[in-house]
Structure 1
C-alpha cells in the first residue's frame, strides 16, 4: 500500500523519537498535502493524535507527503480532508503515516511508544467515519447547537439524544422520550430518525477496533468527529453511564417499557462503551493487570492477531512481578499467545484465572493457550465471563499455586485432581427473556429430581434442592447497583423462590422483575445463561459451558479457584519416568460444581494429586 516514491528517514530509537504529520492548509477540494517532522517525545511539542480505523487496505487514495505521492486508505483520506484547516497547518500524529509500516523493528518500537504519544497529545480526535447526512462539506454541527437539532439531520438528532442521556434527567423528563401512560414511554416521533442514526453510528467499524481502547482512555481530552459533526468524548461516556443507571436503578420500569428495537439500540450503545469506561476507571489510580485489559477487549477486532495483545499492553501498570511483554512484530500469533499464557502461569499469584471465559479457539491453538483473536459473537458475550467475574468467591484449589511444565509446543502439563465424570447433561439456558427460561428451569428440576424429591440427600451435604439453586446462582448474591456481590447464604433461599415464582409470571420480552429481586437479576444472567446444568456419576450437580457433554471430566487444577470441564483426546503421551502412557485432555471451560468450590475434594484426602496433560 505504501508509495514507492517516498523514503522514510530513520528514527533515533535511543531518543524516543517520533514523527509528526503537518497537514497543510487547504480548501475542501484541494489535494491533501503534508510533511513529516521528527521530534522527541520529551520535547512537549503540541500535537493532536488521531484515532481511527484504517479501513479496506485495497481502497486507497493519494496524498502529497514531503512533495512525494503517498498512498493511504480512503478512510484516513476522508478524515484528513475533514480535519484540514483552510488557513493554517494542523499537526497530527497518525500511525499510518508517522510509522514506517514495512519496518517491523521500527513498528515494534513505535507501538511501544503509543501510550505515551496519546498521553502527551493536547487532544485526541476520534474519527468515527462518514454516514449519510444532509450536512454539506465544511458545515459544522456541534452537539450544543443553540437552536436544537434539525429533524432532518439524523446525526445532529442522534447527538442530541446523547446530550439528553448525559444530562442526568429522568427518562420521563427527556424530550427524546414520550410518556404514553404512567409507567410506559416510547421514543418521541421527532427523535425516531436520530435513534435510527444512533444505531448506524454504533455499528461503524470504529467501535470494534481494539486500538481505540488506549487511544480513548489515555488522552487528557478528546473529541468525537463524525463527518462534519463533532461532540466531546465525555458526552458519549457520560451518556452510557447514565443510561445504565436509569436501567438498573431510578427508571427501571420505564426503560423496560420502551419498544424492543429502541432498547436494543441503547443497549448496544452502552455495551460498546462499557469496556472503555471500566478500563478507564481502573486506570485512574489503580493497578491495571494484563488479564483485565485482555478480557475487557476480547471481542474487539485487529487486522493482525498479535495486535490483540500489543494494542493493550500500554494500559498495564502492574506486571505482577514478572517481566513486561513488549511489542515484537517479528513473532507470529502462536508465539505471542504462547508467551502470554506462560506469562500468566509464571506471574503472581501463579493462577489459571486467564483461562476463564471465552473458550473459542482456532484449530492451531491448544486449549491451554487462549486464542485472543477468537471472537465471541453470541448475543451476550460479556455475560460468558462468569468464572472471571466471580473468581474470587471460590477456592477449589485451596489457594495452592499453579504447577505447570511445558512438555512441547502444544502440550502443557498441570498438577491437579480428577473429580468425576459427567453422567448427564440438561438443556442449555440460551434465552432472551425470563419467560423463555421457565421450561429450562423445569427441565433442570426433572434432571435433578428436585421436582419430585427436593429433600433427597446430596453427595456433599444438604439436599439436592439446595445444591440446584446454588448452582443456578453460582452461590453468589448481588447486593447493590454498583454492583457488588457476596456469597449466598441459606437465608437468601426464600427470596430465590420468590424470584422463581415471579419469573414464571413474566411476559414475553420481560427482563425486569420486582425491585427486591435485583440480587438475582444481576447474578443469574452470568451464572446460568448460556450455560448448561450437568450431573456427574457420583452425583455432583454442576453448571458448565454450553459444550459440556456426557463423558467429560471435571478437574480441579492447582492454581485455579474454579474447576474445569475437560474432554479426553485421542492422543496419549509417553511418561518415560513411570513408563506409562499419559492421556491428554482439552479444556471445555470452567464450571461451578456444588461441594467442590471450597477445596472439599482436597481436604477430604480421598483423591491423589496427579499430572494432567492438556493439549
Structure 2
C-alpha cells in the first residue's frame, strides 16, 4: 500500500512543521455516485482542536483499491477507506476529517512514527470521533435498530461498578440483563433471527482491532455508523452488555459464530467503556481520570486484538501505558521480530517476567523464528492455550510489574548462542536488510533463575469435543486409576490424592477466582458427575463445578500431568512425556520446558568447548503450567529453610533430609507446611535455566 502513490507522494505530501503538526482532509460535498474529491490541509493540533472529526475504521484487505481526487491528484486508497469516505461525504457542505490512510504519508516511516506518537492527541482533541463499522447488511440493520431502542441509562447503571472487585463483578454479571433469556414460543423465531444478527454484528472486524481501543475511548462525543444508520457509542456498549453471558457458557445452538471471537469482541467493548468512564466521569456518574498502568499489564489485552502491522500491538499502547517509553521507541524501521525480542530483553533485565505469558511454543504461530522465550503478540485468538491467572498466585515469589529508571535486580540474562549452535534461519527481506546489533537476539539464549525442576512421567489424555461426555469420564477414570497405583497415602499438602487431582483440574479456584480446598470437592464433584451422566441435563441446571472446569480449560486446552517426584500439574495439551516443569523466580505461573539439542550436537550430548567444559543444557519454553501445592511461594520457603541444592549429591540430599527431620519436626510447622513436602526436596534449589 505504501507504494501505491509513489509517483505523486512528493507532490501530495509536504513536510510537516510546527508543534504537533497534522494534516486534515477537507472532503468536498457530492451526490451519491460522484467521484470523491478532497484536499489536504496542513495544520497543528492546537490550531485545529474541536474543528475536525477523527475516523476509526479497519483498513481491510489491500485488494481492489479505489481512487479519489485529492489536491487535483489521483490518489489510490484501500476499499474500506474509500467506502467510509463515500458514506461520510455530505451532499451540501464540506466535511473535515482526519483519516490515517491519507493524512499520514504512509511511505515515510519517520512521519508514521511521529504521527503515531501523538495519536492520542488527535483523537482526544477532535470535535467528534466517527466509528465506521462498514457497509450495512441485513444483520447490521437489525442490530443497529435494536441498539438504538435499548434502555441505555438502565444498562449503563448495571455495568458501572464492573472492575471494583471479583466478588462484586460476579454478582453484577449474575444479575445483569441478558439477551438470550428464555422466550415464549410465539416470540422465539423472531428472537432467534435478531440474536443471530446481533452476534454477527459484534463479530465485525472493527471490534477486534488494537488501535480502536484508543480511538473509541478518548473523545467525549463518539458515534458509531454502519451504512446510513448512526447511534451513539453508549448504545453499542449497551448492545454488547446485553450479549455478554451471565456466566461462563455457550450461546444457544442456533448461534453458529465462534464463541471465543464473540466474547473477545465484547471484552474489547468493555475495555473501551471502562476507559471512557474514567475519562468522562460526569457522563457516567463515575470517578474521573484515567488510571494508567505499566506496559506489562496492558499487554495482556493488547495481544488479544488484531493489527495490520505487528508492531502496533506495542505502539498502540504508548498512551495508556505510563512507562511505554522505557521499553521501546516508535520506529517502523525496526522489524517486529526484533522489537518483540528487544522488549522481552528489557523486561528480563528489570526483573519483569509477565511477557512470558505471550511466549512459548504454544503461543507462537507456526513457523515462527522467534526464540521460545520471546513473546509473540500477533495472535488475536486469546481463548486457547492461555491459563487463567489466580490473583494470589506467586510460585516464584512476588512478581514485579513496574520498572523504574534504574534497572533493579535482573530476573535473568541474555547471551548469544555459540556460532556452532545457531540455527539456519530463512530471514525475510526486512530482517536481512536490518543492520543493527539487535538482530543477534534471534540467535540468543535467555538464562532464567529457577527454584524447582522436575520431569513429567505421566500425561492424561485431551478432549477434542467438549460435548463428548463418554470421553470426559474415561479420561477422568484413567487418571484416577493411575493415581491409585502411585503407592502414596497423601499429596504433598496432605490432601488425599483424589481431591488433589480434582482441584488440579480447576486450578484450585472457584467461579469467582477464589482459592478452594477439599471442602469444595466434597460439596460439588458428585453433583457435577451426576450432571455429566444426565442426558437431559442442560446449562440451566449446570453445577458450579462446570463453571470452574470451563474457566480452567482442563481436558481441552490443557491436560493433567504427574512428575517424577509426584507433582500434580495442569499443562498445555502439546506437552510431552519427559518434558520438565519448573518455577522461575518472579513469574506468576509454573512453566513447561523441553530439552533442546543444538544443530551441532547431531542428536548427541555436546561439549561447550574442545577443552571438555561442562555441557550447557538448553531448553525451549512450551507454556504455562499450574503445579498443585506450589503456587504460593512454597519453593522459596523450603529452599531457604533447608538450604536446598539443585541436583544435589547424595550427601547434600541427606543433609537436606536431616535438616527437615525427613518431614517431621517443628521446622515444617514454622513454615506452615506439612512434612509431606520432604519428598520433593531434591527437585528444589536455585539454578539457571537456559532457554533458546
Task: Please state which band the TM-score falls in when normalised by the shorter chain.
Answer: 0.7 to 0.9
Structure 1 Cα separation of the partners of residues 234 and 530 of structure 2: 39
Aligned position for 2:220 = 220
Deviation at 1:175, TM superposition (A): 10
Structure 2 Cα separation of the partners of residues 175 and 396 of structure 1: 40
Once superposed, what is the RMSD of the aligned Cα atoms? Answer: 3.4
1:448 and 1:464 in contact (8 A); partners too: yes
Question: CA distance change for structure 1 residues 178 and 224 in 2, over 3 Å: closer, same or farther?
Answer: same
Structure 2 Cα separation of the partners of residues 601 and 174 of structure 1: 44
What secondary structure does 2:216 align onto?
A: helix
Aligned position for 2:519 = 491
1:583 is aligned to 2:617:
yes
2:528 and 2:545 in contact (8 A); partners too: no
1:11 and 1:18 in contact (8 A); partners too: no
1:306 is aligned to 2:311:
yes
Which of 139, 146, 156 is the matching residue for 2:141? 156
Q: How many aligned residue pairs are there? A: 565
What secondary structure does 1:612 align onto?
A: strand
Deviation per residue, 1:146-171 (Å, 9 max, x gap)? xxxxxxxx433222344566656999
Q: Structure 2: which 5+ runs fail to align?
A: 156-173, 279-289, 400-408, 417-440, 599-605, 647-685
Worse-superposed segment, 304-313 or 93-102: 304-313
Which of 471, 476, 480 is the matching residue for 1:441? 476
Structure 2 Cα separation of the partners of residues 522 and 434 of structure 1: 18
1:31 is aligned to 2:66:
no
2:264 and 2:304 in contact (8 A); partners too: no
2:570 and 2:625 in contact (8 A); partners too: yes
Question: CA distance change for structure 1 residues 434 and 276 in 2, over 3 Å: closer, same or farther?
Answer: farther
Question: CA distance change for structure 1 residues 225 and 15 in 2, over 3 Å: closer, same or farther?
Answer: same
Aligned position for 1:142 = none
Question: CA distance change for structure 1 residues 282 and 419 in 2, over 3 Å: closer, same or farther?
Answer: farther
Aligned position for 1:366 = 371
Aligned position for 2:124 = 119
Deviation at 1:547, TM superposition (A): 1.1
Deviation at 1:235, TM superposition (A): 1.4
Deviation per residue, 1:96-140 (Å, 9 max, x gap)? 11000000000011011112211111221111112445xxxxxxx
What secondary structure does 2:254 align onto?
A: helix
Aligned position for 2:246 = 247
Deviation at 1:265, TM superposition (A): 7.7
Aligned position for 1:478 = 511
Deviation at 1:314, TM superposition (A): 2.8
2:26 and 2:94 in contact (8 A); partners too: yes
Which of 54, 58, 64 is the matching residue for 1:53? 58
Q: Structure 1: which 5+ runs fail to align?
A: 134-153, 480-484
Aligned position for 1:611 = 688
Aligned position for 1:236 = 236
1:3 and 1:69 in contact (8 A); partners too: no
Aligned position for 1:261 = 254
Aligned position for 1:209 = 209
Structure 2 Cα separation of the partners of residues 286 and 575 of structure 1: 52
Aligned position for 2:169 = none
Structure 1 Cα separation of the partners of residues 213 and 257 of structure 2: 23
1:13 and 1:109 in contact (8 A); partners too: no
Aligned position for 1:526 = 552
Aligned position for 1:394 = 393
Aligned position for 1:341 = 344
Question: CA distance change for structure 1 residues 510 and 11 in 2, over 3 Å: closer, same or farther?
Answer: farther
Aligned position for 1:404 = 412
Question: CA distance change for structure 1 residues 287 and 303 in 2, over 3 Å: closer, same or farther?
Answer: closer
Deviation at 1:83, TM superposition (A): 0.4
Worse-superposed segment, 95-104 or 595-604: 595-604
Deviation per residue, 1:35-63 (Å, 9 max, x gap)? 11122112324111111122232421111
Which of 597, 610, 614 is the matching residue for 2:631? 597
Worse-superposed segment, 453-462 or 283-292: 453-462
What secondary structure does 2:617 align onto?
A: strand
TM-score under structure 2 length normalisation? 0.74
Structure 2 Cα separation of the partners of residues 333 and 542 of structure 1: 34
Deviation at 1:228, TM superposition (A): 1.8
Worse-superposed segment, 352-361 or 51-60: 352-361
Deviation at 1:64, TM superposition (A): 1.1
Structure 1 Cα separation of the partners of residues 415 and 611 of structure 2: 13
Structure 2 Cα separation of the partners of residues 577 and 108 of structure 1: 50
Q: Which protein is richer in strand relative to its size?
A: 1
Question: CA distance change for structure 1 residues 13 and 465 in 2, over 3 Å: closer, same or farther?
Answer: farther
Structure 1 Cα separation of the partners of residues 520 and 623 of structure 2: 28
Worse-superposed segment, 461-470 or 198-207: 198-207
Structure 1 Cα separation of the partners of residues 385 and 275 of structure 2: 21
Structure 1 runs of 4+ aligned residues shifted over 6 Å read 169-178, 452-455, 575-578
Deviation per residue, 1:517-548 (Å, 9 max, x gap)? 44761564235251110011111111111111
Question: CA distance change for structure 1 residues 14 and 384 in 2, over 3 Å: closer, same or farther?
Answer: farther
Aligned position for 2:570 = 543
1:463 is aligned to 2:496:
yes
Aligned position for 1:141 = none
